[in-house]
Amino acid sequence: MRLRLKADGRVVELRDGQEFPLSPAPPADADPPPVRELRRRARLTQIEFAARLGVPVETIRNWEQGKRMPRGPARALLALIARAPESVFPTLATPASQG
């Protein structure tokens, strides 16, 4: 199954060149997922979590300290991790060429 995170927070499955919604867009005023809690539930250090998400560790630190807020695709990815970490982390670990 190939998934795509849309900028508005929706998750869609790609089949035969078409997109099929898997989750509705979150409300515009929805609070971002608590990054520190997600990371701790995954039992990952900041460095490990940053590597899994493909962002600098400084980004994780800024999110956890409230200096910055996740936006766009990062926010959608964190929401997906909050709902289904057992599916997301193995997918992130798979090289794109195998997907």
pLDDT at 99: 47
Superfamily of chain region 28-93: lambda repressor-like DNA-binding domains (1.10.260.40)
67-75: Cβ within 8 A, 24+ apart? 69/32, 70/32, 70/33, 70/35, 72/7, 73/5, 73/7, 75/9, 75/32, 75/33
pLDDT at 24 over 70: no
pLDDT at 93: 77
Query: In this predicted model, what pLDDT tens digit does every residue of 50-94 receive, in sequence order?
Result: 999 999 999 999 999 988 988 888 888 998 899 888 888 888 876
In the chain, what are the domain boundaries? 28-93
Q: What whole-number percentage of the chain has pLDDT above 70?
A: 80
